């Protein structure tokens, strides 16, 4: 059995931690492993990577190819803890919209970070990543279709620090159905893959639902939670009221910064809308799973969805984790806005964060 990812990661991680974990987890002692070269490592960059850059994912180990990038605003709730914060629990007293706005962080409180949309290698995500739920969802182009979404598999979002760049002489360096549609291999430049006109048109048609503008992050009890909201679009409800429902996709990454093994057991969400209503949702695990975060596999990442009938709302909550001794603790989910920006203009526009 072949696994090209090992040949690079064995050189990067002390004591071959990833390789040993990979062999122990995915192969029986009787199986022979052939380590196959996949390319040449490149030095990591501080500035932004270009479309067409090949990379290995630092946490999930898959091979990938960058489609596009953004400079996003990162709101780190721990660094901003001494400043005015959003009121996480509005159960006891509902603030007015003006009061809510005064509690929000401003854009100048954020730091700039790079974030990327990428193609993923199907061989690697199928084999290596129980901790990753790849794929990006969209609304159908036909706006008459209500309450339906579709998924494009083989895509993911990554942060700048996730990227381990490498080069390859292979004209098809990753297994993904979109590689040959989206990129042309070139031998005389780096990165050695140029975006096609088809990719540019594909991005332009879906710009709104792909774009990353703000990232929200908070650490609680040694667990870092990162959230990113994406506005997918709006649809008429289909009744005589002619009201719109807004569809949102949100990205969540959970990182265990401690060596101890923990397991996510429950989720608690709250959605506060511009009308003053508060909706609470709770359930077991996330996306049908109760993931374990351990020293060997400390990161879990997924996407989910929410529908909101108003142009502006906020969403936040907590995850409940369980320790090996049976005790539990809650981890905050930093608040993030659900703002349909087409309905706001000028100084009346709600804050980005």
CATH of the domain at 88: 2.60.40.1470
Across the chain, which has 353 residues, the per-10-residue mean pLDDT values are 45 46 49 72 94 94 95 91 45 37 60 96 78 79 68 93 92 90 88 94 91 95 97 77 83 96 98 90 94 93 92 95 97 93 58 48
For the whole prediction, is pTM greater than 0.75?
yes
Looking at the fold, whether 13 and 124 belong to one and the same domain comes out as: no
**135 and 149 part of one domain:** yes
How high is the pLDDT of residue 8? 45
Instruction: Verify that 6 and 150 share a domain, yes or no.
Output: no
- Tell whether 47 and 14 lie within a shared domain: no
- The answer to whether residue 170 sits within a structural domain is yes
Query: Do 54 and 30 lie in a common domain?
Result: no
Number of domains in the chain: 2
Residue 223 structural domain: 38-348
Backbone phi and psi for residue 214, each to the nearest 5 degrees, phi listed first: -135, 140
Q: Same domain, yes or no, for 104 and 70?
A: yes
Q: 């059995």: which residue's tokens?
A: 1
Residues 12 and 124 in one domain: no
* pLDDT value at residue 1: 33
- Measure the CA–CA gap between 54 and 65, rounded to whole angstroms: 5
pLDDT of residue 102: 35
With respect to residue 353, please indicate whether it lies within any of the assigned structural domains: no
Same domain assignment for residues 131 and 270: yes
The pLDDT, as a whole number, for residue 188 is 80
Residue 119 and residue 1 share a domain = no
Whether residue 311 is found in the same domain as residue 185? yes
- Specify if 164 maps to a domain: yes
84 lies in the same domain as 173: yes
Per-residue confidence (pLDDT) for residue 113, from 0 to 100: 97
pLDDT, residue 90, reads 36
Q: Is there a domain that residue 315 lies in? A: yes
pLDDT given at position 133? 74
- Write a three-state SS string for the chain: CECCHHHHHHHHCHHHHHHHHHHHHHCCCCCCCECCCCCEECCCCCCCCCCCCEEEECCCCCEEEEEEEEEEEEEECCCCCCCCCCCCCCCCCCCCHHHHHHCCCCHHHCEEEEEEEEEECHHHHHHHCCCECCCEEECCCCCCCCCCCEEECCEEEEEHHHEEEEECCCCCCCCCCCHHHHEEECCCCCCCEEECHHHHHHHHHCHHHHCCCEEEEEEECCEEEEEEEEEEEEEECCCCCCCEEEEEEEEEEEEECCCCCEEEEEEEEEEEECCCCEEEEEEECECCECCEECCCCCEEEEEEEEEECCCEEEEEEEEEEECCCCCEEEEEEEEEEEECHHHCCHHHCCCCC
Q: Are residues 89 and 1 in the same domain?
A: no
């Amino acid at each position: 059995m072949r696994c090209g990812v090992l040949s690079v990661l064995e050189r990067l991680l002390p004591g071959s931690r990833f390789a040993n974990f990979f062999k122990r987890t995915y192969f029986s002692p009787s199986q022979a492993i052939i380590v196959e070269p996949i390319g040449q490592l490149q030095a990591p960059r501080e500035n932004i990577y270009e479309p067409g850059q090949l990379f290995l994912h630092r946490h999930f180990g898959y091979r990938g190819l960058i489609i596009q990038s953004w400079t996003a605003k990162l709101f780190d709730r721990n660094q901003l803890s001494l400043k005015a914060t959003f009121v996480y629990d509005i159960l006891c007293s509902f603030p007015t919209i003006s009061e809510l706005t005064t509690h929000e962080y401003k854009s100048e409180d954020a730091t700039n970070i790079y974030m990327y949309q990428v193609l993923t290698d199907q061989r690697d995500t199928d084999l290596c990543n129980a901790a990753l739920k790849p794929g990006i969802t969209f609304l159908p182009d036909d706006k008459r279709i209500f309450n339906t979404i579709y998924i494009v598999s083989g895509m993911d979002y990554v942060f700048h620090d996730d990227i381990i760049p490498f080069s390859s002489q292979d004209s098809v360096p990753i297994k993904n159905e979109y590689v040959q549609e989206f990129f042309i291999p070139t031998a005389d430049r780096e990165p050695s893959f140029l975006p096609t006109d088809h990719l540019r048109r594909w991005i332009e048609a879906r710009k709104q639902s792909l774009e990353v503008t703000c990232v929200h992050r908070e650490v609680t009890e040694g667990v870092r939670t990162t959230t990113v909201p994406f506005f997918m679009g709006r649809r008429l409800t289909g009744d005589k009221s002619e009201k719109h429902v807004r569809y949102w996709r949100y990205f969540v990454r959970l990182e265990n910064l401690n060596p101890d093994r923990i397991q996510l057991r429950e989720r608690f969400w709250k959605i506060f809308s511009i009308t003053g209503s508060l909706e609470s949702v709770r359930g077991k695990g996330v996306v049908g799973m109760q993931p374990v975060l351990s020293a060997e596999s400390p990161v879990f990442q997924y996407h989910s969805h929410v529908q909101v009938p108003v142009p502006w709302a906020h969403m936040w909550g907590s995850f409940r984790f369980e320790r090996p001794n049976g005790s539990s603790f809650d981890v905050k989910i930093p608040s993030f806005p659900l703002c349909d920006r087409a309905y706001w203009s000028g100084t009346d526009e709600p804050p980005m964060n």
